[in-house]
Amino acid sequence: MVGTRNTPGRPTNSNTSQSRNNASRTLSGIEGETPIPSRQPTTQLELDLTQRLENIQEEFDVFKQANQQEIEETFARLIQERVSNLPSAIARGTGATSNPIHASPGKPPKLQKLPSYKGLNIGEAKDFFFQAELMFRNDDGYYFPTDQKKIDHVIQYFQQQPLAVWRRYEASTTNSNMSWEEFKEYMCDAILDKGNRQRHAIQQIINAKQQSNQSVNSFVAHLDSLEEEIESEADSVRKERLLSGLLPHIAKRISESIQQPESRNDLIKQACRLENVDKMYRSQDANDPPRGRRQNNTAISSNSSFNRSQNESSKQQNNTSSATDTQSQQRSKSPSKEKPNKENQKNDYRQRDLICFRCQQKGHYANGCTNPPVCRWCKGDHQSRACPTHSQEEKNQGNDQTQQ
């Protein structure tokens, strides 16, 4: 067996035996696995390999012991650098802080402006104080490191009634260490005390129902504002209360679903999803008419197109007939040259055959005659109806007919 080399700085024989045990454990396998049964080396090659493995293990142990302290110091230095680079904590405690916590140096944050606070109802008070807390959160302790700074800043936005309440408080007490939560509670109690707020909230919670024109998120926000006034309840109780207050068709679909919501937040997500689906289909129904109405509209449109074509054809026929009538009227109004000649000839023949019963001459009428009268019976210078000879003959003829 090869002897152990005595090197300065090497461990003693006891350390050598310990390293051999470690080497045997290394060869036995990883922790948690079945160890390999140890076997005594038999050949010179195995003895050399075993000795080299023991030497490597000894060198590793020496290196680890020499650098352990340096590794720990480096790790501690890195942690300290990371912690020093983190921003300072924000004072969000319920009580007043004795030591102010300032923000990290840099550009100061923009100071937001709050709305005026009139203190008319609890809802207005909650909204006002919520906006103030958002401003303090964004401030990061730069302008308002303590609760007293927060209270002094918020009082600037108070109107007549809440300002008078706070002045009365400062005049009647010497407690200058009021926390922010105590300040909010005091201002809410000035509107309505906590007991009456709880009773009023419980009554409204019992009768809370989602309206037809109210969204799921709006109804949930209303319930949350009421539940803030009462003691904390289990999530299952709040979930069942919310489910019973939703619109009937939404609550029914949630109750019939195979996958039931496990928490109140899951219930809110499922109700909002169903609400959005209903809105989507309502918008589609509003844009697309029903099938029957669509068919009727198609039939009506086809009938209207057919009627339109018929009307156009009838209009064309009417236009054609009217054009023909117009042409015929124009022809009748302005006759051709041949027709006027024939009519003029007829008129000329007719005028030639005419005999004036006044003057007994041809070619004109008696109403336009200027000639002296001539009797057609006796040719005398009197009119025919005044002829005495003709009148006597008519009398004689009448007497003869009477005698016969």
Domain co-membership, 63 together with 130: no
CA distance 288 to 212: 23
Average per-residue pLDDT for the chain: 74
Distance (Å, rounded) from C-alpha 178 to C-alpha 148?
7
Query: Poorest-confidence range of 239-253, 312-326, 374-388?
Result: 312-326
Looking at the fold, whether 240 and 277 belong to one and the same domain comes out as yes
- The tokens of 45 are what? 């090659």
For residue 97, the one-letter residue type is T
Q: Specify the pLDDT at position 392.
A: 65
Average pLDDT over residues 4-25: 47
50 located within any domain:
yes
Local structure of residue 110 (DSSP, 8 states): P
Q: Is 198:230 a contact under the CB 8 Å cutoff? A: yes
User: Which has the higher per-residue pLDDT, 333 or 278?
Assistant: 278
Same domain, 185 and 233: no
At residue 395, the pLDDT reads 60
Judge if 202 and 184 occupy the same domain: no
Model confidence at 91, pLDDT cuts 50, 70, 90, reads very low
List, as own/partner pairs, every contact residues 367-374 make where C-beta atoms lie below 8 angstroms and the sequence separation is at least 24, other chains included: none
Q: At what angle do helices 235-245 and 248-256 cross, to 10 degrees?
A: 130
175 and 220 housed in the same domain? no
Is the pLDDT at 9 greater than 80, yes or no? no
Q: How far is CA 327 from CA 256, 318, 334, in A?
A: 81, 14, 10
Considering the chain, what percentage of its residues have pLDDT values greater than 90? 12
Per-residue pLDDT at 265 exceeds 90? yes
| 67 dihedral zone (left: phi>0; alpha: psi -120 to 50; beta) | alpha
Judgement on whether residues 186 and 208 belong to the same structural domain of the protein? no
The answer to whether 292 touches 301, Cβ cutoff 8 Å, is no
In a domain, 310, yes or no: no
355: three-class secondary structure by DSSP: strand
pLDDT of amino acid 113: 87
Q: How confident is the model at residue 233 (pLDDT cuts 50, 70, 90)?
A: confident
The H-assigned helical ranges of 37-159 are 44-85, 122-139, 147-155
251 pLDDT tier (thresholds 50, 70, 90): very high
- Is 166 inside any structural domain? yes
Q: Which of 166, 191, 216 is the last residue of a domain?
A: 191
In a domain, 227, yes or no: yes
The conformation of residue 109, written as its DSSP 8-state character, comes to: P
* Per-range mean pLDDT, top range of 33-37, 388-392, 395-399: 388-392
Based on the structure, what is the number of domains in the chain? 4
CA distances from 237 to 128, 215, 231, 272 (A): 29, 21, 12, 20
Same domain, residue pair 201 and 276: yes
| 192: DSSP letter | S
Instruction: Looking at the structure, tell me whether residues 159 and 222 fall in a common domain.
Output: no
Residue 311 lies in a domain: no
Full domain range(s) for residue 371: 354-403
- The pTM of this model reads 0.41
Shared-domain flag, residues 186 and 201: no
Structural domain includes residue 301: no
What CATH number has the domain bearing residue 278?
1.10.1200
Cβ(225)–Cβ(124) below 8 Å: no
Which residue type, as a one-letter code, is found at position 187?
Answer: M
Domain boundary residue among 191, 219, 239? 191
Amino acid at 396: N
Q: Is residue 399 part of a domain?
A: yes
Final residue in a domain of this structure, among 175, 191, 207: 191
Which DSSP letter does residue 362 get?
Answer: B
> Per the domain annotation, does 115 fall within a domain?
no
Q: What is the pLDDT of residues 326-378, one digit of tens each?
A: 555 555 554 444 455 656 665 665 666 678 878 878 777 777 788 888 887 78
Confidence band of 216 (pLDDT split at 50, 70, 90): very high
